[in-house]
């Protein structure tokens, strides 16, 4: 049983969880001085890890409960969330459609694109983020029953609860003496449910730890706020209100405010920074852990700075898959790539 439900059995009836992930993820010391620690959410699944798999536990729970017949999501061409969703759909036997927008092309982007196709997802290239978002919100399948529209980054209230549960998992590891209570947790922030869930979950689990979010996605899309303290807080408030209703006696504290840093974002989404590249090199050389430039590298740059200046242990929450490519299942039916996506793979 997941630790959130062990603590609050009344939530079992209202938060379906498919136990899709391989949990708890390990925690390890980074170095010998006890100052740096890592939570290995890169190992959440035997063939493909990362934070999306943890979110999908609770999302699949909703698919099963709602008897979903197709999942429609969107993301950048190298979307980790799209890949994880395609894997979950393949394992659940549910068709998956991923609407894609452009991002800087890299080896990871190409590998993820190929993997989504291998898993049997239908990939619809839509061009810009704006065009993709329009297609997603105005999609004709919205009029049909049994369709589950999953926001980019696997972000929805179910996903937030997955990271509330993750905070309880960490609390159990602290109680078991696996690591000391960290002063801070550092985590990358895109669609924000990881930060929202951990911020609320740490408070609920009785940890004094501050959760430091490192923004790695644009703060606004045009004029619309997308990744700001207010957008994260709105996710926290939604989850807080739900728990307040379903936990016996309600919650004894108001919805906590998130901490979101802008300083490590650099020139744009998916574009690396010198600090991220140096953090990626350091993690590879000193700890044998592979990070990347879009998410974990930028968060690791922040982690290194925080650890140097912190009065106590700091935990880096690794959200990027580290399982080797090549072990993903192959779907019986594979859809051909449209010309723009095929060109991207050949380039």
Ligand X SMILES: Cc1ncc(COP(=O)(O)O)c(C=O)c1O
Burial class (CB in 10 A: 0-12, 13-18, 19+), 128: exposed
Please list every residue from 261 through 280 that binds ligand X, using CB under 6 A: none
From candidates 192, 199, 209, 272, binder to ligand X by CB under 6 A: 192
Which CB, 30 or 81, lies closer to ligand X? 81
Q: Which two tokens stand for residue 210?
A: 């501050």
* Beta strand extents in the chain (DSSP E only): 27-29, 36-40, 70-76, 96-101, 122-127, 147-150, 184-189, 210-215, 220-221, 224-225, 259-261, 314-318
Which has the closest alpha carbon to 193: 258, 143, 249?
Answer: 258
End-to-end CA distance of the chain, in Å?
A: 46
CB of 304 to ligand X, least distance (A): 17
Among the residue ranges 143-151, 184-192, 276-284, 308-316, the one whose residues contact ligand X (CB under 6 A): 184-192
Which has the closest alpha carbon to 28: 12, 39, 20?
Answer: 39
User: Does residue 320 bind ligand X (CB under 6 A)?
Assistant: yes
Which CB, 3 or 50, lies closer to ligand X? 50
What are phi and psi for residue 322, nearest 5 degrees?
-120, 5
Radius of gyration of the chain measured on its C-alpha atoms:
19
Which CB, 90 or 192, lies closer to ligand X? 192
From candidates 49, 82, 182, 190, binder to ligand X by CB under 6 A: 190
User: Does residue 193 bind ligand X (CB under 6 A)?
Assistant: yes
What are phi and psi for residue 304, nearest 5 degrees?
-60, -45
User: Does residue 191 bind ligand X (CB under 6 A)?
Assistant: yes
CB of 339 to ligand X, least distance (A): 27
Q: Which residue is nearest to ligand X (CB)?
A: 190
User: Does residue 80 bind ligand X (CB under 6 A)?
Assistant: yes
CB of 282 to ligand X, least distance (A): 18
User: Does residue 201 bind ligand X (CB under 6 A)?
Assistant: no
Question: How far is the C-alpha of 250 from the C-alpha of 40, rounded, in Å?
Answer: 32
From candidates 36, 82, 95, 188, binder to ligand X by CB under 6 A: 188
From candidates 4, 23, 39, 51, binder to ligand X by CB under 6 A: 51
Which CB, 81 or 255, lies closer to ligand X? 81
User: Does residue 155 bind ligand X (CB under 6 A)?
Assistant: yes
User: Does residue 49 bind ligand X (CB under 6 A)?
Assistant: no
User: Does residue 189 bind ligand X (CB under 6 A)?
Assistant: yes
Instruction: Classify residue 296 as left (phi > 0), alpha (psi -120 to 50) or beta.
Output: alpha
Residue 16, CA atoms < 13 Å, CB-side half-sphere: 10
From candidates 112, 173, 194, 199, binder to ligand X by CB under 6 A: 194
Q: DSSP letter at 287?
A: I
Residue ranges in contact with ligand X by CB under 6 A: 50-51, 80-81, 153, 155, 188-195, 295-296, 319-320
């Amino acid at each position: 049983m997941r630790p959130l439900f062990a603590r609050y059995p009344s939530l079992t009836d209202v938060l379906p969880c498919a136990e899709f992930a391989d949990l708890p993820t390990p925690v390890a010391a980074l170095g010998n001085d006890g100052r740096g620690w890592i939570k290995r959410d890169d190992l959440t699944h035997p063939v493909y890890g990362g934070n999306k798999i943890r979110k999908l536990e609770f999302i699949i729970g909703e698919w099963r409960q709602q008897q979903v017949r197709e999942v429609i999501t969107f993301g950048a061409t190298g979307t980790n969330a799209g890949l994880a969703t395609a894997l979950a759909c393949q394992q659940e036997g549910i068709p998956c459609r991923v609407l894609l927008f452009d991002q800087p092309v890299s080896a990871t982007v190409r590998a993820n694109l190929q993997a989504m196709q291998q898993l049997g997802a239908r990939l619809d290239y839509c061009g810009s983020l704006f065009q993709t978002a329009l297609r997603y919100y105005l999609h004709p399948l919205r009029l049909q029953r049994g369709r589950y529209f999953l926001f980019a980054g696997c972000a929805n209230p179910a996903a937030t609860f997955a990271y509330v549960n993750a905070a309880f998992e960490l609390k159990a590891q602290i109680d078991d003496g696996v690591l000391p209570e960290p002063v801070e947790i550092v985590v990358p922030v895109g669609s924000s449910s990881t930060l929202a869930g951990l911020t609320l979950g740490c408070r609920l689990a009785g940890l004094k730890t501050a959760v430091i979010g490192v923004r790695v996605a644009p703060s606004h899309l045009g004029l619309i706020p997308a990744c700001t303290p207010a957008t994260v807080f709105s996710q926290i408030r939604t989850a807080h209100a739900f728990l307040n209703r379903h936990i016996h006696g309600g919650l004894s504290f108001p919805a906590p405010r998130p901490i979101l840093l802008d300083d490590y974002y650099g020139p744009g989404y998916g574009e690396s920074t010198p600090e991220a590249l140096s953090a990626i090199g350091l993690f590879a050389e000193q700890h044998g852990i592979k990070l990347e430039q879009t998410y974990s590298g930028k968060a690791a740059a922040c982690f290194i700075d925080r650890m140097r200046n912190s009065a106590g242990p700091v935990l880096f929450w690794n959200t990027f898959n580290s399982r080797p490519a090549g072990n993903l299942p192959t779907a019986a039916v594979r859809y051909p790539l449209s010309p723009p996506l095929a060109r991207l793979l050949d380039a």
